[in-house]
């Protein structure tokens, strides 16, 4: 059974993930007010749960918005990327220990993330998923199709009764320092270019995989606390 408080936090993640980013007033020059901090080229999450090289530039329309658990970066071209870090409560730790790393991440994604995608965008589905045992002691890579779920709607021109495009999003889930991390990136070109985007599914997956791992390489994590003597 999923604790209501934990489900609410994850629902907030999806809500944050699926809202286009807009600059806020005040705070760090160029990026608006934040709960975390933007120092130079680095975003520092609340409680220093992670640091990441900022993947957007204010000069190119880059914006940042964050909550206690999620930061989202977007620019005017093709970047919409989110990093979420959720503290594992006792129930989540038990689920992880009982199910094992792979099955826990599959369970987590299906119960907390994919279920909300399906509620928000009718017809949403997981196109494919793969477990990566050598990435952070086991990570789950998924690719989702979200009808009408693009974060670049203002750049999409529709004619007549044409339906909004099906957005494609890649997600990378792993555990670190007692947190569930979820990295999520939209393949913006697929929605923006429409029928002119000629990549195969394999090529789309490789683009998203590359971008997710590029984002992962920009993240640093604090050293885990030393065990008490």
Rounded to an integer, what distance in angstroms lies between the CA atom of residue 54 and that of residue 71? 11
Tell whether the model's pLDDT for residue 125 goes beyond 90.
yes
Tell whether the model's pLDDT for residue 194 goes beyond 90.
no
148: buried, middle or exposed (CB in 10 Å: 19+, 13-18, 0-12)? middle
Residue scoring higher pLDDT (194 or 109): 109
Q: Domain coordinates of the chain in residue numbers?
A: 4-220
Helix (H, G, I), strand (E, B) or coil at 132: strand
Count other Cβ atoms within 10 Å, centred on residue 223. Answer: 6
Contact predicate 168/187, CB 8 Å:
yes
Tell whether the model's pLDDT for residue 71 goes beyond 90.
yes
Identify the bridge partners of residue 37 per DSSP, sorted by sequence position.
Answer: 44
The architecture in CATH of the region 4-220 reads 3-Layer(aba) Sandwich (3.40)
Q: Convert the pLDDT of each residue in 138-162 to its tens digit.
A: 999 999 999 999 989 877 776 667 7
pTM of the model: 0.87
Relative orientation angle of helices 101-108 and 90-99, to the nearest 10 degrees? 130
Contact predicate 175/132, CB 8 Å:
no
Strands (E), the chain: 37-39, 42-44, 51-53, 63-66, 70-74, 80-87, 125-132, 139-147, 166-176, 179-186, 219-220
Q: What's the pLDDT score for residue 159?
A: 67
Strands (E), 29-186: 37-39, 42-44, 51-53, 63-66, 70-74, 80-87, 125-132, 139-147, 166-176, 179-186
Tell whether the model's pLDDT for residue 213 goes beyond 50.
yes
């Amino acid at each position: 059974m999923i604790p209501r408080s934990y489900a609410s936090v994850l629902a907030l993640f999806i809500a944050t993930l699926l809202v286009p980013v807009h600059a806020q007033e005040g705070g760090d020059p160029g990026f608006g007010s934040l709960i975390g901090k933007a120092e130079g080229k680095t975003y520092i999450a609340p409680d220093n749960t992670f640091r990441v090289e900022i993947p957007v530039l204010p000069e190119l329309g880059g914006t940042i918005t964050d909550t206690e658990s999620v930061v989202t970066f977007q620019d005017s071209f093709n970047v919409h990327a989110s990093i979420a870090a959720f503290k594992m409560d006792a129930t989540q730790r038990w689920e992880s220990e009982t199910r094992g790393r792979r099955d826990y991440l599959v369970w987590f994604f299906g119960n907390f993330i994919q279920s909300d995608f399906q509620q928000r965008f009718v017809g949403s589905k997981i196109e494919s998923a793969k477990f990566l045992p050598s990435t952070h002691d086991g990570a789950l890579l998924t690719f989702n199709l979200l009808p009408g779920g693009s974060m670049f709607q203002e750049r999409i021109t529709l004619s007549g009764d044409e339906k909004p495009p099906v957005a494609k999003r890649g997600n990378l889930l792993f555990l670190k320092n007692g947190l569930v991390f979820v990295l999520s990136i939209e393949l913006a070109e697929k929605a923006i270019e429409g029928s002119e985007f000629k990549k195969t599914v394999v090529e789309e997956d490789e683009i998203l995989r590359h971008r997710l791992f590029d984002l992962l390489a920009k993240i640093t994590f604090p050293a885990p606390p030393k065990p008490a003597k």
